[in-house]
Amino acid sequence: MTARVETGLNVVQVVAGRTDPTDPMLTGAIARAVGMPLSSASRLCAELVDLGLLARGETYGSYRIGPAALRLSGDASAPYAAAARSALTRLAHGTGETALIAASGRGGVRIIDAVPSPWTMHSPAVVGELVDDQRSASVQALARVGVGMGGQITESRVGKCVELAVPVLEPGGEAVAVLAVRLPVNRAKEGVPVARRALAAERRVLERALGVPAPRRAPSAARAASSALGATLILLEALGPGDASVAELCATTGIRRDRALRLVESCRRAGFLRSDGDRIHLSWMLQGWLRAAVRPTLVAEGAPVVAAAADATGVCAFITVLRGMRSVTLVEEIRSLGAGLDMTPWIGRPCPIAGADGGPTLVMDFDTDDIPSFLPRRADARELAEFGQRVDTLVREGVVAKESIEEAGQTAVTAPIRDASGAVAAAICLVGATDEMRPRIPELRGVALRLSADLSRLVGFRAVPVESAD
């Protein structure tokens, strides 16, 4: 049965570990990727659907990432999401280049988060991208940990891209991920020394986050598993965002120790678990699934929700996300503003974060000391203070209604969309003419909060009580 568990987890990785895990994948492609007969793959996928690790696609015989896999990805991300996103943003902002985090996964090293360079010509990195070129600094940096060279920054040149990478080590010395910068060769002379200094600094930030005990979710009632894969999912979900020993997992789940040991070992071989002494954690590899799934999910499933709200309220509605330190619109529903008025479409257009309606929402998870350094240098003290007040209101109330920072006569009501890790993944914005919006602010605040909750549920957010790590 443990062989079936490992094969099943490999199938989940094949489907979930892509640049768009919501895109349906045919059973034949899954079978070829895992190396198993089509009939066996079909039966295994059906069981994984029943467990929620996969979901059926619109096309017969196709599968996409399931809700249980998104929850696991959120649990793996939760303790480190804020630190990782802040470190990546500082790294990209300080170097002006693409910053990424990658982790070992099936077939090589896979990018689990990235902040792109603002340059028009840049070296790209896409969440879910498989890095299997052995010349890559990311691959080499992780390999060197095993031979006692884990503290070094590795540099490589592949084509016209220079990559610098350094492993992120847990207290026991094992590598959980690699932090890297990619830049074009023509900017390497000035950029490489800057990237080296920035990598060393941000690597320390992430390693400090690894040293902080994560809160443990309050245990749920033990439930029986009808299969080895079902028992495996129970163990993984019981582990949650924290860590545990095998004995603690057995006590929480009711699974016998001998069976738990076999299942844990299968999860390790499949790359789902990592160990720090006798403590077991979810692997960083899982984090990329959620980050790759959020945006396509908001576009495909969030757009009808936003359209219904725009129809009901008669105001324009948008979903925006952070790209570097710019706001980019994913979903827009533009409604009539009255005779003689129109709204410019914003789909795909980057807007400086300081002037974006959803800007304060998109950075509300950042440390308040970092935010001013991410804003344009031309921002004066008054603008910084106003931006900071909006962030404070969002943290305190979960919604803010203010006149636009840069658009005269326009008011926006914004609230965060949180993903399965609890981190802010996007912003919902209701926008209209100030003279018509002002008397409706209480109503529209309520609409924005409901949209925030509905859209957050689409990307796996759940408010779950946790136990103190003490």
Question: Distance (Å, rounded) from C-alpha 216 to C-alpha 219?
Answer: 8
pLDDT reported for residue 465: 46
User: What is the residue range of 245's domain?
Assistant: 2-76+214-282
Residues 373 and 304 occupy one common structural domain: yes
User: In this structure, are 182 and 309 located in the same domain?
Assistant: no
Count of the separate structural domains present in the chain:
3
Which pLDDT does position 451 carry in this prediction? 98
The per-residue pLDDT for 470 is: 41
pTM listed for this prediction: 0.92
* Closest alpha carbon to 207 in 243, 178, 249, 242: 178
* Residues 116 and 140 occupy one common structural domain: yes
* Residue 468 within any structural domain of the chain: no
Residue 463 covered by a domain: no
Last-in-domain residue among 236, 258, 282: 282
> Which residues are paired to 415 by β-bridges?
428
Considering the domain architecture, whether residues 25 and 113 belong to the same structural domain is answered as: no
Residues 449 and 376 reside in one and the same domain: yes
CA atoms within 13 A on the CB side of 348: 0
Q: Identify the pLDDT of residue 405.
A: 74
pLDDT score for 426: 98
Number of neighbours of residue 340 by Cβ within 10 angstroms: 5
Domain with residue 123: its CATH number is 3.30.450.40
Task: Among 210, 234, 261, give the residue marking a domain's end.
Answer: 210
Q: Do both 385 and 346 map to the same domain? A: yes
Ordered mean pLDDT values, 10 residues apiece, the chain (470 residues)? 90 97 98 96 97 96 97 96 93 95 92 94 95 94 76 92 95 91 97 97 93 67 76 95 94 94 95 89 96 97 97 96 91 87 86 90 91 76 86 96 84 97 97 93 97 97 56
